[in-house]
Amino acid sequence: MIGQREQRRLATPAFSTVVLSTFAYFLAVGTVLPILPLYIEGPLAGDSATVGLALGSSSFAALALNIWAGRLGDRRGRRVLLVGGAALVGVSILGLLVARSVPVVVFLRLIGGAGDAFFFVGGASAVSDLAPEDRRGEAVSFYSLALHSGLAVGPVLGEALFAGERYWAVWLVAAALAAVAALVGTRLTDTRPIITPGAVATRLLHPAAIPPGLVLIAGALGAAGFSAFVPLYAREIGLSGARFVFMTFSGILMMMRTLGARLPDRLGSITAALLALAGTAVGLGIVGAWRDPVGLFAGTVIFALGHALLFPSLLLLAISRATAHERAAAVGTLTSFLSLAFGAGPAILGLVARTAGYPGAFLVAAGVAACGFILFWRYALGRLATGAAV
């Protein structure tokens, strides 16, 4: 276990293990990302609402398990979450080889959602444990850099494997990558701080993560819709696929979380979160209003600049208000809000898309982010005016 003395270095073997496992895991997820909507609308004969339901179902499973995963991580360590989560996702992807109906895909997505809950809580908790207090925002940025590197490369790999509608090749390679993530995760030693026996949190919802979590919903709803519907919208406006859109999005995030890794620490979590919401609202608004490839790419750039700051700033805000022995519980609570956004987002925006088209769905998501900006700005001002901790 790690003692109470701060470790000043970020690039430790344990940190590298988490980052490498995370990259492999999200490379697997990214490989499936642009192909699953095509599988649902093609061989399974679904529509936009069906795509939203199927893709969002994994997040409902994660929503149910994130909080429990946080408690498990505080009690049993982070490694069990990394290894177990990656294994479950690998099984859920392999199951797509025999999935011949939307209900089967939804069932498999529920299994994958459980894996998402374990893996993400384990990884985010581990990097928070390993980082010095004044560099936690930077640590989360580099952790999420691995995440988005996987999501940047994955769609390119997925569409290359898919050539000729080879769904089976996509599923097999993605499952193998998830297995690699699990194997790398077995190398992680226990990162939990030394705590007094019996001091682990017993409450389900950690109060430190509730205000940041509500803000996270406002910003992440649009990201959920973006992931679900851009593969379909891109073809609707004349592009051959969405891989370059996802590459642009993830490339901007990678740049921001490399060159701007310390922005949440330097700007403060509140200011960074407000900038994130503003970028999300403006970017998605452009995607929805400017209905051609140039508008899609222009909006994607602005959306990515804002979204790059969203999770690192809000996670920093949550864990800064939690004690060390409740850190995974705070992470689990925060990610439950993320799961709610990614679960409800595709389903809600899918219904909007059915009547108003994909541009209408993006405009609704932009409006939600704008409302979140206004409410969080007023909340932050009110708390600061009374001298209370935000």
Q: Strands (DSSP E) along the chain, which ranges? A: none
Q: 197 lies in a domain?
A: no
pLDDT in tens, the chain (390 residues): 444 444 466 778 888 899 999 999 999 999 998 899 888 888 887 777 788 778 777 877 777 788 788 778 777 888 999 999 999 999 999 999 998 888 899 899 999 989 988 998 888 888 888 877 777 778 887 887 888 788 778 988 998 998 878 899 999 999 999 999 999 999 998 877 665 555 555 566 788 889 899 999 999 998 988 988 898 899 899 998 887 898 898 788 888 888 888 888 888 889 999 999 999 999 999 999 999 999 999 999 999 999 999 988 998 888 888 877 788 888 888 888 887 887 788 888 988 998 999 999 999 999 999 999 999 998 887 765 555 545
Q: 1 lies in a domain?
A: no
What is the extent of the structural domain holding 123? 14-191+205-386
Q: 227 lies in a domain?
A: yes
∠ at Cα 308 (226, 160), nearest 5°? Answer: 50
Q: 170 lies in a domain?
A: yes
Q: 355 lies in a domain?
A: yes
CATH number of the domain within which 344 lies: 1.20.1250.20
Cα separation, 37 vs 386, whole angstroms: 48
Q: 196 lies in a domain?
A: no
Backbone phi, then psi, for 299, in 5-degree steps?
A: -65, -35
- Please state the domain count of the chain: 1
User: Which of 304, 300, 195 lies closest to 252 in space, CA to CA?
Assistant: 304
Look at the block and give the residue holding tokens 């095509």. Answer: 38
Q: 8 lies in a domain?
A: no
Q: Amino acid identity of 167?
A: Y
Backbone phi, then psi, for 100, in 5-degree steps?
A: -125, 10
CB burial string 55-69: b at 16+ within 10 A, e below? bbbbbbbbbbbbbbb
Q: 3 lies in a domain?
A: no
Q: Amino acid identity of 121?
A: V
